[in-house]
Amino acid sequence: MKHAVEISDKIYWIGVNDMDTDLFEGIWPLPRGVAYNAYLIDDEKVAVIDTVKKGYLPQFIEKIQAVLGERSIDYLVVNHMEPDHSGSVKILRQLYPKMEIVANQKTLDFLRGFYGIEDGIKIMGDKESIDLGDKSLTFYMTPMVHWPETMMTYENKTQTLFSADAFGGFGVLQGGIFDDEVDLPYYENEILRYYSNIVAKYSPMVQKALTRLSDVPIKVIASTHGAIFRENPSYILERYDRWSKQETEKGVVIVYSSMYGHTQTMAEAIARSLACSGVEQIRLHNVSRSHLSFILTDIWKYKGLILGGSTYNMKLSPYMDMLVSTLDNDKLKNRVFGVFGSYSWSGGAVKALRDYAEKSGNQLLEPVVEAKHAPDDNSLDLCRQLGKNMAESL
């Protein structure tokens, strides 16, 4: 989208779409790109809220100038210093040298380290405000959602919350930029994928942020990624509340590693047993073929998790080890676990998975199934029993 879009009275979306980056943060796939949202408030004093990734500076400046013409910017509010949002700060300051950067105390080190900026900074504390004329901004500190300097900016007259990375998701804005203009089921899945990939580890801090905002009347939520919620902001607030509490839906994710098909045979036996026991939502992932990003999304959504490992060099195979390490780091809880696997001459995978499941504090179902060489009829019967037990536990 070439032009700025007015989202409410004198408040404009001036973001950009990135359809070129393949991996967000060099890790997470972007099959449908990502949007970098920034905003401009055209009042007696002009405020820009966040910027965009530096490669998209020309489009960003074009939108600003389309609204302001030759007028200057008074304030640049920096809610979050990750470079996909702060990447244009240095050049924007050079273009508008009188522009004051509005930030909190924790932001100073990032501004200095990333861009060598040490002056012209207005430090704001929690719930402090700036008057723009007709409108005013109040700042809420929300540290570790998901960097330590993160804050949110609230415009009091229109009750618009500029929420930094919170409530955002993957996917470019395909014409529509509001929740009442876009395919919400698609965006919800991309919001959950963003949450499970980026924010999940900081779920307790998300809960603290939601508590801090509970008394703030919010009509519009404008994140730095994805759609702007103007019709029903409670839609995304409720989902963030549920996800950050690790509340789940009825369903089972089976993730397995398999070199020659034997662990896959066990996984398929479990999946069939689940289906025969009435479980409709079953997600089966070969960890070597499904990207971690999509596996995590399903795991964050569903109650049951069954991990199957093939032993590689006397330990858990590398991709499965990466998944387990990520889940451990994210402090996954409120789940029901199952464990199975196979080995040829030396075990290790099943023990590692069982150790993780027990350490995590989640419920671990029996039987834990381990097959030597290829699974025999007894091993497959145990797999089917694991599937049945999982279905009953849900």
Scanning 147-202, the segments in alpha helix (DSSP H) are 184-194
From the list 240, 231, 230, 227, the residue with the least C-alpha distance to 15 is: 227
CB burial readout 167-197, b (16+ within 10 A) else e: bbbbbbbeeebbbeebebeebbbbbbbbbbb
Q: Are 160 and 213 in contact (CB under 8 A)?
A: no
Task: Map tokens 């200057």 to a residue.
Answer: 72
Q: Are strands 315-316 and 363-364 parallel, antiparallel or unpaired?
A: unpaired
Give CA–CA dist 199/191, Å, rounded: 10
At residue 16, the pLDDT reads 97
Going by pLDDT thresholds of 50, 70 and 90, the confidence category of residue 185 is: confident
Residue 309 β-bridge partners: 341
Over residues 200-210, the mean pLDDT reads 97
CATH of domain 249-393: 3.40.50.360
At residue 187, the pLDDT reads 87
pLDDT at 329 over 80: yes
At residue 93, the pLDDT reads 97
pLDDT at 132 over 70: yes
Q: What's the distance, CA 372 to chain centroid?
A: 39
Where in the chain do CATH 3.40.50.360 domains reside?
Answer: 249-393
Residue 304 β-bridge partners: 252, 336
Going by pLDDT thresholds of 50, 70 and 90, the confidence category of residue 3 is: confident
Over residues 204-228, the mean pLDDT reads 97
Instruction: Spell out the CATH class of 5-244.
Output: alpha beta
Q: Are strands 11-13 and 5-8 parallel, antiparallel or unpaired?
A: antiparallel
Going by pLDDT thresholds of 50, 70 and 90, the confidence category of residue 214 is: very high
Locate 9 and state its tokens: 């009275």
Over residues 79-88, the mean pLDDT reads 97
At residue 39, the pLDDT reads 98
Task: Map tokens 């304030």 to a residue.
Answer: 75
Q: What is the pLDDT of residues 352-389, one digit of tens each?
A: 999 999 999 999 999 999 999 999 999 999 999 999 99
DSSP 201-256: GGHHHHHHHHHHTTTS--SEEE-SSS-BB-S-HHHHHHHHHHHHTT--EEEEEEEE
Element (H, E) at 64: helix 57-68
Where in the chain do CATH 3.60.15.10 domains reside?
Answer: 5-244
Q: What is the pLDDT of residues 243-252, one digit of tens each?
A: 999 999 999 9
Q: Are 300 and 244 in contact (CB under 8 A)?
A: no
pLDDT at 325 over 90: yes
Give CA–CA dist 54/155, Å, rounded: 26
The fraction of the chain above a pLDDT of 90, given in percent, is: 97
pTM (whole model) above 0.75: yes
In the chain, the N- to C-terminal Cα span, in Å, equals 45
At residue 186, the pLDDT reads 84
Q: What is the pLDDT of residues 262-296, one digit of tens each?
A: 999 999 999 999 999 999 999 999 999 999 999 99
Q: What is the pLDDT of residues 340-360, one digit of tens each?
A: 999 999 989 999 999 999 999
Number of Cβ within 10 Å of residue 23's Cβ equals 11
At residue 1, the pLDDT reads 66
The 3-state DSSP class for residue 387 equals helix
From the list 267, 214, 260, 264, the residue with the least C-alpha distance to 237 is: 214
Find the length of the chain: 394
Give CA–CA dist 295/28, Å, rounded: 11
Over residues 22-28, the mean pLDDT reads 97
Task: Map tokens 């009953």 to a residue.
Answer: 392
- Bond prior to 367 in cis (omega within 30° of 0): yes
Query: What mean pLDDT is reported for the chain?
Result: 97
Locate 12 and state its tokens: 């404009």
Give CA–CA dist 245/221, Å, rounded: 21
At residue 147, the pLDDT reads 96
